[in-house]
Structure 1
Amino acid sequence: MKIDELPNGILSKDSKTDHFETRRSDNQELTFIQAEGIFEKSQIRMDDELKRSMGIINDEGDFTNLGLLISDQNCYSITAAFIQGGSSLICKFREEFTGSILKQCYALYDYIDQFNRTRSEIEGLYRHDFRDYPLEAIREALMNAVVHRDYAFNGSTLIKIFEDRIEFLTFGGLPIGLTSSDLKFGISVPRNLRLLDVFRRLNLADSVGIGFKKIERCYQGERTQPSVDVTENVFMLTLPNLNLDREHPQIHSESYVRETEDLSEIERSIAEFIGSKYEVSRKELETSFGLSQSRAVRTLNGLIDKGLIHSRGNGKNTVYVSKSKKW
């Protein structure tokens, strides 16, 4: 999915979760030892006055769900796993991170960094180091997964580290009335405004919705690009391993030749046309190639069956995207 800027958060479809942050926490026995230490590093004193201004304590003096997320007793965890090989069949390492959501972020960043190798090239007297994954891209992907998830779900946010990519899976689908094609316009619909404010105070997040722009910039000019997949309840951001592409650039071109060598002329033309676009509707293909509706449908279904494209949306909002789509 080519995206200039994805929404910095998504409103929940369930009205019961719309005010999650401001609701009174079921657990009122909260402590903030971990969070206070993190605020102290930013030279911010986390006293009751600050807790009230941030919304950790409500007007009645009770702790809110925002307070629960920031507290040592936070019940929402993040699980990170290192998957050996290119498939998800062998989980070599797995760790669950608990405690304050702030502490989880710092610990997760360090955990991911263990698997972020450095590739070095020598050019004359100079050495150039290249990380598998740009550090800024990891930071932004992690912040997005934490700040903008739907905390109405009790499951753990999941980060899968493969040899060729990192997948950030978090709960939260698209806002009602929006389709995937709307994302390219840079819509910013924060789900957890108060949590976002906490991260802004610690200089961990931006307030103007430029996180995905930063990720896009990290991969500018690269052969492989980040991708986004959205279902009704899950948002997944994938960061590709840049060093793997630099070491084995022929993998991509050889794979494309194998995948397309059995295509008909019209299938190949449409596959290349879709690959050159952000996304394509059936109507656009019919107009561009002079196809009837039935032939366009047959051709698109054939390309889907061959794994070269996939569809997003339903009914008249259905669009088609290349499996090798870049932003």
Structure 2
Amino acid sequence: MELFESEIVELKEIYTSDLKKEIIAFANTNGGTIYIGVQDNGKIIGIDNPDFVMQQISNSLRDSIRPDISMFITITLLQEEKKFFIKLNISQGTKKPYYLSEKGLKPTGVYVRSGTTSAPASEDAIRMMIKMTDGEAFERNRSLLQNLTFNRLKEELQKRGLDFTEVQMKNLGILSSDNIYTNMGLLVSDQCKHSIKFAIFQGTDKLVFKDRKEFTGSLFDQLTDAYKTIDFYNGTKATFHDLLRTDERDYPVDAVREALLNAIVHREYSFSGSTFINLYSDRLEIISLGGLVSGLSLEAAMLGASQPRNEKLAALFYRMKLIEAYGTGISKILSCYKGLPVQPKFESVEGAFQVVLPNIHAEKLNSGNEKYLPILRLFENQKEITRSDTEQALGSGTTHAINILKEMQEKGLIKKVGRGRLTRYIMK
């Protein structure tokens, strides 16, 4: 028998634990054959105790490689000139990438055949193998991270009297049939790699930052943290109808909730970027990656049509009663602004979807009198202003400042309190 190494043949003098890397490489590429008891020059030297070595190989296949690779390998004991050697025939696997269970789905655990050697696969190559094997749906693809915990998810399920067993994890799509965590599992795990970036700006443009935050962790942590932060900045205005006082938020809380849920449930998670929330004095913008699902127009979505991009994630949120029904988010947001002079806006472009919730009390900032904006913006950082504050904001003298303040009082934008040197102005 004449043997020599090639792209599909590997020769080994003895068995070592590194053999499993070679097996993985062949299974992840085009298959191949490994001979044990053969020198690099093709000379058969044989092995001692071949039955024990074959058992070691079988145990290694079962315990050290995932997914199960045994069905793609045949182990044969051969003999030539009274020398025993082993032949391993490895077929190309159908559940690529195969990897070392102790290393996981990363370059140190995934190997491919390159010429006559086995080399670590790049992360891009790993993702491509996963996509080719698992299909296009991001949720169902195997997660590159496998050391996942689900503390926050367990808390949320327990609040609702729902179990979190292995069977339940498989039903939810968190765990595959062969006990490998999916990307759905990654999203709801404490190790979720995606985030929400929150920025608060002074005024109606991005010229001046007031604050910025980033929310990480499980999607449930991100949802809660983002909602609480918006709620903190969501001002309340008191209005009176006869003797009845009504407190009204700048942004309807139900609209905020629906916009956040839509951004989290329907974004494209195969993109690594963050979801963005931008808060200005007159509007709240939520920008999620992915745009609408292909084939679904914005007009159709506004009519209530829905095609969830992340069906497993949407089903979990529905089961947890975070969303009531598919396709109702936009209509709920619109209903929150029914009869108001300002209306939410929705925009879908290639790769992104944006929801703009207007501040329902921002008409004072958009009254058509741009000359008042420098003064109105003073109230973003203080409850009352003085004439000298006005002069500084306008860069003008005393007479002009007094005239502007008088105009604003006549228009009902501000109210004068106190007299003489104690004169102050407050927002109406």
State percent identity of aligned pairs: 39
Q: 1:88 aligned to 2:206?
A: yes
Distance in structure 2 (CA, Å) of the matches to 1:36 and 1:106: 15
1:115 aligns with 2:233: yes
Task: Look up the match of 1:235.
Answer: 353
User: Which runs of 5 or more residues in structure 2 are unaligned?
Assistant: 1-130, 371-428
Equivalence for 2:325: 207
**After the TM superposition, which residues 160-239 of structure 1 pair with which residues of structure 2 at under 5 Å, given as runs?**
160-177=278-295, 179-239=297-357
Q: Is 1:68 equivalent to 2:165 in the alignment?
A: no
What is the aligned partner in structure 2 of residue 139 from structure 1?
257
Provide the rounded CA distance (Å) in 1 between the counterparts of 2:312 and 2:297.
26
Greater C-alpha Rg: 2
Deviations 1:276-322 (A, max 9, x none): xxxxxxxxxxxxxxxxxxxxxxxxxxxxxxxxxxxxxxxxxxxxxxx
Matches within 5 A, 1:141-156: 141-156=259-274
- Indicate how the Cα distance of structure 1 residues 30 and 90 shifts in structure 2: closer, same or farther if over 3 A, else same: same
Q: 1:223 to 1:188 in 2, by over 3 A?
A: same
**TM-score, with structure 1 as normaliser:** 0.69
Structure 1 runs of 4+ with >6 Å offset: none
CA contact (8 A) 2:298 2:347 kept: no
**Partner Cα separation in structure 2 for residue 214 and residue 223 of structure 1:** 17
Q: Distance in 2 between matches of 1:144 and 1:25?
A: 23
Cα distance change, pair 208–121 in 1 and its aligned pair in 2 (3 A): same
Q: Offset of 1:173 from its aligned partner?
A: 2.3
The alignment status of 1:22 with 2:148, answered yes or no, reads no
Inter-partner Cα distance in structure 2 for 1:181 and 1:145: 18
Deviation, 1:211, is 1.1
Q: Secondary structure at the match of 1:197?
A: helix
Tell whether the 8 Å contact from 1:32 to 1:70 is kept in structure 2 after alignment: yes
Q: Which residue in 2 is equivalent to 1:78?
A: 196
Alpha-carbon offset, residue 230 of structure 1: 1.6
Question: Residues 291 and 349 of structure 2 are in contact (CA less than 8 Å); yes or no, is this contact kept in structure 1?
Answer: yes
Contact in 2 for aligned 1:35/1:103 (Cα 8 Å): no
Kindly indicate whether the alpha-carbon contact (under 8 Å) linking 1:227 and 1:237 is maintained by their aligned counterparts in 2: yes
Question: Contact 1:130–1:243 at 8 Å: present in 2 too?
Answer: no
Contact 2:173 2:185 in 1 (8 A): yes
Map of 2:177 onto structure 1: 59
TM-score with structure 2 setting the length? 0.53
Shift of 1:250: 3.0
AA paired with 2:144? D
**Deviation (angstroms), 1:206:** 2.6
Give 1:77 deviation, angstroms: 0.6
Structure 1 unaligned runs (5+)? 1-14, 256-327
| Cα pair 2:302 2:331 within 8 Å, conserved | no
Q: Which residue of 2 aligns with 1:250?
A: 367
Q: How many residues are matched? A: 238
Preserved contact between residue 293 and residue 308 of structure 2 (Cα < 8 Å): no
Distance in 2 between the 1:168 and 1:202 partners? 23
* CA drift at 1:182: 4.8
CA distance in 1 between counterparts of 2:366 and 2:210 reads: 26
Question: What whole-Å deviation, never above 9, does each CA across 1:173-195 have from its counterpart, x for those lacking one?
Answer: 24445554554543311100000
CA RMSD, 1 decimal: 2.0
Q: Partner residue of 2:423? A: none
Point out which structure has higher relative CO (alpha carbons under 8 A, 6+ apart). Answer: 1
